[in-house]
Structure 1
Amino acid sequence: MKKRLLDNIRPFCVLSVVLLCASASGKDWHVCQRILPGIDTNSQIRSIGEAVERLQAGDTVTIHGGIYREQVTIDKNGMAAEPITIRAATAEHVVVTGAERLTDWQRDERDSSVFWTAWPHEFISWNEHNTHPSDDYHRLIGRCEQVFVDGYPLGQVLERQKLSRGTFFVDLDARRLYVQDRSNRDLGDKRVLTEASVNSTIWTCKSNHVRIKGIRFRYAANRAQQGAVQISGDDNELDDCVFEYTNACGAKFSGERITVRNCTFRHNGQLGFSAGRAHGLLLTGCTVTNNNTKGFNRGWEAGGNKIALTRGMVIANSIFTENKGDGIWFDIGNEKCEVKNCLIADNENAGIFYEISYGLYAHDNVIVGNGFAFSPADWGANAGISISSSPDCLIERNLLIGNKEGLSLREQKRSTPLIGGGSEPVWNRNLTVRNNLVAYNRDAQVWGWFDIDDERHWPKSMQETSPSRQSRADDGPMDGPPDGSQLKDLELVFENNIYRPGPGQGLFNWGVTWKRHIKYTELDAVRRELAFEHTGRLADVAFRDFARLDLRVPAESRAIRMRCYPEGLVPGAKLGTYIR
């Protein structure tokens, strides 16, 4: 009986294993713009969109070299053990673009150096100026159209009579696009490549467990706050991709547990990327550089990125540099986010701006040369690290060197929406700043920008105004700071940091410049009046070659002895010690 039962079970088990193996391996599809020898013709497809329609869990799509002018939407799920993989073929140049090549040009009857072609596209139709935002500042910046000639972007004008070399004009009434080449060439010449962005999105992934690798995304006609690439599914991975030259935001992440690895976000009109409710997002080994090329309002949303209502995001081992705005910007209700082992350099506003959010852990970063844009309205937001009305933050083992300000605390009367719904007041409290090396920052090594009237940022003995009512025992976070609060109630801890202001540079500034403020030049005064830095030190700092970001310090350096130095590696910087 047992033998007969085993004989019946054995074929079923073998069949199950075969089916599982077949499912786990999936099918291989090849997207190519011409027939490729040596590859089964039944697995060759001419467009990415057609390949995506055939996808099942475990399948792999290999895209061969070429420029693919299509909008791709992925809506079929992989599984944890059988993800869908869409990748560029090894060492092949794969571009997915939102632009079309325009070839049907007519000479303008008024000016023979101007050419026109039919233009049926309208990207923003809900306001009279076709812009987002719709204010006067963004009247030109907020348009979506882009034109490239031989890969160089042209400037847009809003009136036909203002056309000149290297510009274009969109006449939405006549449905025409007018272009004048920089070199006054005939745009009908086949040797001239003229492209215009016609798709507002390039790539949308609504699915879970999808891996995307090695693709270059560019030239989307997306409006502000809209990602050219949109990843809204969960448990997705992006590796070795490039997001560039889009009109607004290179990519938007809104799924959970997304991993973005070794990707580049550059030359985008508004932001390198954005994230909203992207809980557990990991960004590692990435480069985010030269974004906000169109000049969107930096106080609204522009720069390297903007992250909102996201819990547990980690940014690690990445480079944020030369963005026209903040390098890294967390704004609105973020919780327990981490920035570690990053190079954050030469961004025009703050290196890291953590605004009306909770629980930043910033550690082991190299943060240099940030905050030097002329932007008087951005007081308190032009430091290496700026903390704005955000409680429960820990800042440790960072190099904050050569910024406009090293660390700033910005305070106003603020509240924030919450991930779980509702909103509540927020203010800077329970902040620990320890074991950092803060040196050669122009205006101050630390500046507390408290634009508030209750004087909570001063010790009781230094407060000059009386509270309007007495502190209540039942005051809590939903009510804002208790009346009668003083500096010690905020639980701001500065300890064991090393400071080195250069000649004429500030040490500790406390208070905004248009209200009572004190510029401290000695740590003893900071200790005596603010009760900060009882274990901190003023010390000389010597780097091997700062200009080349060789930030090694002598083996006997106080920075090493006090552990005021990053642990681990930081891309783009050389860390460690040397023997003099």
Structure 2
Amino acid sequence: MLKITQIYFYLFFLLASSISFATDIYVATNGNDTSGNGTMANPYKTFTKAISIMSAGDVCIIRGGIYEEALNVTKNGTSGNYLTFKAADGEDVEIRATNIVNGWQAHSGNIYKATVNMAIESRFRAVYHNNEYMDLARWPNNKDNNRWTIDCTPVTGGDGSHFTANNLPNIDWTGGMVYYLGAHSGASWTRTITASTTSRIDYTEVDITKWPFTPHNPTVWRNNPNNNRGQLYLFNKLEALDYANEWFYDQTTNTLYLQTADGTMPTTGSVEYAASKFAAEIKGDYIKLEGLNFFGGSVKIHNNADNNQILNCTIIHGSEGHDNLTNTSAQVGEAALEVLGDNTIIKGCTIDHSSVSGIVISGWAASNCTVEGNYISNIDYIGIHASPLRSSGNDMKILKNTITNAGRDGMYVAGSNCEIAYNDVSASQKINSDSGVFYTVGNASLKNNEIHHNWFHDATAPSYSHNPNDPGKAAGIYLDNNSKGYTVHHNVIWNVSWSGYQVNWNNTNLDFYHNTIWNAERAMDAWVNGYTQENNKIYNNFSNVGDWFSETATDFDIQDNLISNTSPFEDANNQNFMPASGSAVVDMGRFISNFTSSYKGSAPDIGAYESLGTQWTAGVNAIEDTGESLSIDEESSIKLVLYPNPVGNNLNIALPHSFNTGSVEVYSLLGTLINKTSINGNLNNSILVLPVTNLITGTYLIRVMSSDGASYSSKFIKN
């Protein structure tokens, strides 16, 4: 009996030792690391203290306020017990990689100065006034206060070590920097100035026989208006500080000079400078960040830090500054969010403003990551090979993101076995040319990537990048240099200034199925450049402009597509690409072997949408394509009736019999959530009256969700 008791005790001890009892540990700006105990009533002051006592499963609850300490997590959680760092419910937590600078005094005219030690590496220095990004003193000035207009002066000549230009300011630019964007406009580069006159700038030499300088140097002439040999601006000299929102830092005297927007002395606490490169660094496994706001510094998940999650966070001005002065690759590794760890999940986040990339996932270190439901905007102000989302890792899922405003690519995914789906990507190529809303480059490998149900739209290359008689090279989907093994289906491309599809060099095993192209400059083009293209298919695609590309009998198999300047859609000009009843695309597609796609009628429709099928949308509020119509008839669980017609002041929704509590949401066809109304109480067999007087004329989607998880959808037309 004693032996049995001892065995039970031993088993209990092993079980108890394996159970993790999670602890909530509080941090607050008014906490105390010495006298506090980490409770809500007596919180710690620093993240460092909280982390020092945390174990797997613990939750660090951060109270509202501004924190200037970086969140540096070096411990590990476990698969069932993450280390979690989250904002307290309903409270705003800001973790800033900036410090405030005060003690301002007059310098000269509208310029003020203060003493500060900006110890960060010079190319990551940044200054903010009232949370707005300031320009490092420059010429020509940024007179429109728009970071997308690069405000350069034309280059008239030069080589790999100097530029010539007219009417340069008569100051000594030695030690300053020159930004150069070639006439080709594919990428920029920056170098240190070694000597100057009013017509010449000498700089640290680059090798114009090698990429990226070969097409981007002043010996390359293009027939572009006022931009035959590229353009430049000069910056980082105190003598150039002569305009609103400019600054300069003298590191020999630790003096910061600033001219504010209105020329007045900065008020106390209104100016901040970048004190550190990172606002957060994750160096352990199974770490979770939730609901945190980061400003002025990036978030980095380090190499071998795996299985981490960044959820519902914001990163504003995550990676600001200028290009690396020795860069020879037209790209940098920095981003607002840098991912070097496997199995990372980034979901529900907002990333806004970055001089370089928004999210970078480096394939040499990271694989099997998910990027879903994020807003990413205002990325790549320096116009290099950077992207709002830039991934070279394998096994990526890039889903339901809304991306807008990018200097070059809207999205770049170059790994293998990746899914890119339901993303809404727009307004790319705001500085560079020869790129795509979706862009990638290939190699000898078949990628086995699937690009489906995305919206790629509204991208126009800048006027300085091309002759007015030529298209601005902003493509919809650009599979560049040897891209192989892509299945591209059910995407919509509209309002792009170049090809709907652009494919270059040795492209093989590219399948373009069921896509819609509207208002591109041309449907498709390719720069073959002497390579072989083969085993590519173009089936069931629609474009309102021509043509599909083919030069040989074996490069592209082109079947059952339609090119017509007559719209077969319900309202293409308002981005409703559902086939109109009886139109030229209905039942006119082919059955594609080894490709599954639901259809109604006698055959699949041509284009990205199926008549009587799902009116799917893209972006963070995406409605997925189930193959079933969102129009619900009277026998379905929900029916929508408009009273009165055609004006329509209320939408009467007959709720299903089992409905109790939940919500009703109204979306535009672009996936934008317009209105959400909660429903409480037992409403069985009742009518929900939803006012629609504030809606403009158009087609809308309605989604009603009950608290038990059931979902009912339909669409209605506001006349």
Report matched runs for 1:287-298 at 5 Å: 287-292=375-380, 295-298=381-384
**Contact 2:515/2:541 (8 A) holds in 1:** yes
How far off its partner does 1:335 sit?
1.6
TM-score normalised to structure 2 length: 0.61
Q: CA deviation at 1:144?
A: 2.1
Is 1:508 matched with 2:504?
no
Distance in 2 separating the partners of 1:89 and 1:41: 10
Provide the residue aligned with 1:11 in structure 2: 9
Q: What SS does structure 1 have at the residue aligned with 2:508?
A: coil
Question: What secondary structure does 2:379 align onto?
Answer: coil
Alpha-carbon distance between aligned partners in 2 of 1:544 and 1:193, rounded to the nearest angstrom: 52
Matched, 1:364 2:453: yes
Q: 2:283 aligns with which of 182, 206, 215?
A: 206
CA distance in 2, matches of 1:405, 1:113: 45
Once the two structures are TM-superposed, the CA of residue 257 in structure 1 deviates from its matched residue by 0.7
Paired position in structure 2 for 1:459: none
Amino acid at match of 2:361: A
Once the two structures are TM-superposed, the CA of residue 45 in structure 1 deviates from its matched residue by 0.9
Q: Which residue in the other structure is 1:170 paired with? A: 249
2:318 matches 1:246: yes
1:306 corresponds to 2:390:
yes
Q: Taking structure 1 as reference, are residues 181 and 80 closer, same or farther at Cα in structure 2, changes over 3 Å only?
A: same
Structure 2 gap ranges (5+)? 138-235, 321-334, 430-434, 587-598, 622-669, 672-700, 702-713
Of the candidates 202, 211, 235, which is equivalent to residue 307 of structure 2?
Answer: 235
1:411 and 1:449 in contact (8 A); partners too: yes
Match of 1:183 among 228, 247, 262: 262
CA shift at 1:196, angstroms? 0.9
2:543 corresponds, among 499, 509, 515, to: 499
Distance in 2 of aligned mates of 1:548 and 1:32: 49
Asked whether 1:264 is paired with 2:347, we answer: no
The CA distance in 2 between the partners of 1:266 and 1:541, in whole Å, is 36
Corresponding position: 1:322 with 2:416: no
Residue 103 (structure 1) aligns with: 102
Contact residue 535 and residue 554 of structure 2 kept, 8 A: no
Counterpart among 346, 359, 371 of residue 427 in structure 2: 346
Higher strand share: 2
Q: Secondary structure at the match of 1:347?
A: coil
Aligned amino acid, residue 330 of structure 1 = V
Q: 2:135 aligns with which of 155, 158, 162?
A: 155
Using the TM superposition, give the Cα deviation of residue 122 of structure 1 relative to its aligned residue in structure 2, in angstroms: 4.2
Q: What is the rounded CA distance, in whole Å, between the counterparts of 2:442 and 2:472 in structure 1?
A: 14
**Equivalent residue letter for 1:28:** D
In 2, the alpha carbon distance for the partners of 1:38 and 1:52 equals: 13
Letter aligned with residue 538 of structure 2:
F
The alignment-based identity, stated in percent, is: 16
Matched AA of 1:118: T
| Aligned twin of 2:608 | 565
Residue 322 of structure 1: CA displacement?
2.0
**Contact kept in structure 1, 2:290 and 2:311, CA below 8 Å:** yes
Shift of 1:6: 3.3
Please show how residues 213-228 of structure 1 align to structure 2 within 5 Å: 213-220=290-297, 227-228=298-299
Q: In structure 2, give the amino acid aligned to 1:387.
A: L
Q: Which amino acid aligns with 1:495?
A: Y
Answer yes or no: is the 8 Å Cα contact 1:304–1:324 preserved in 2.
no
Which residue is equivalent to 1:65? 64
Cα offsets for 1:468-507 (capped at 9, x unmatched): xxxxxxxxxxxxxxxxxxx5xx111111212222xxxx42
SS state of the match for residue 306, structure 2?
A: coil
Contact 1:66–1:95 (8 Å) recurs in 2: yes
Q: Take 1:151 and 1:531, find their aligned partners in 2: how far apart are those partners?
A: 52
Contact 2:25 2:39 in 1 (8 A): no
CA positional deviation for 1:529: 9.9
Corresponding residue of 1:78: 77
Secondary structure in 2 matching 1:322: strand
Counterpart residue identity of residue 607, structure 2 = C
Q: What SS class does the counterpart of residue 290 from structure 1 fall into?
A: strand
In 2, the alpha carbon distance for the partners of 1:287 and 1:548 equals 23
Give SS of 1:430's match: strand
Residue 432 of structure 1 aligns to a residue whose secondary structure is: strand
In the alignment, structure 1 residue 118 sits paired with structure 2 residue 115: yes
Q: Is the partner of 2:86 in helix, strand or coil? A: strand
Change (3 A) 1:381 1:313: farther
Q: Which has the higher helix share?
A: 1
Question: What residue is the counterpart of 1:387 in the other structure?
Answer: 479
**C-alpha distance 535-437 of structure 1, shift in aligned 2 (>3 A):** same
Cα distance between partner residues in 2 of 1:56 and 1:235: 17
2:30 matches 1:34:
yes
Match of 1:541 in 2: 567
CA contact (8 A) 1:350 1:371 kept: no
Distance, in Å, in 2 between the alignment partners of 1:570 and 1:536 is 23
Q: What's the offset of the Cα at 1:445?
A: 1.0
Alignment partners' CA distance in 2, 1:18 and 1:43: 29
- Matched residue count: 474
Shift of 1:29: 0.7
Question: Residue type of the partner of 2:525?
Answer: W
Deviations 1:245-264 (A, max 9, x none): 13342110010010111111
RMSD: 3.1
Q: Which residue of 2 aligns with 1:194?
A: 271
Partner of 1:46: 45
Q: Which residue of 489, 501, 508 maps to 1:408?
A: 501
- How far residue 371 of structure 1 moved from its aligned partner, in angstroms, is 4.2
Asked if structure 2 preserves the Cα contact closer than 8 Å seen for 1:408 and 1:446, the reply is yes
Q: Distance in 1 between matches of 2:515 and 2:99?
A: 50
Are the counterparts in 2 of residues 210 and 235 from structure 1 also a CA contact under 8 Å? yes
Q: Distance in 1 between matches of 2:488 and 2:274?
A: 42
2:306 maps to a residue whose letter is D
Secondary structure at the residue paired with 1:202?
strand
2: CA distance between counterparts of 1:270 and 1:563?
39
- d(CA) in 1 for partners of 2:496 and 2:135? 32
Deviations 1:546-565 (A, max 9, x none): 56655544355536742632
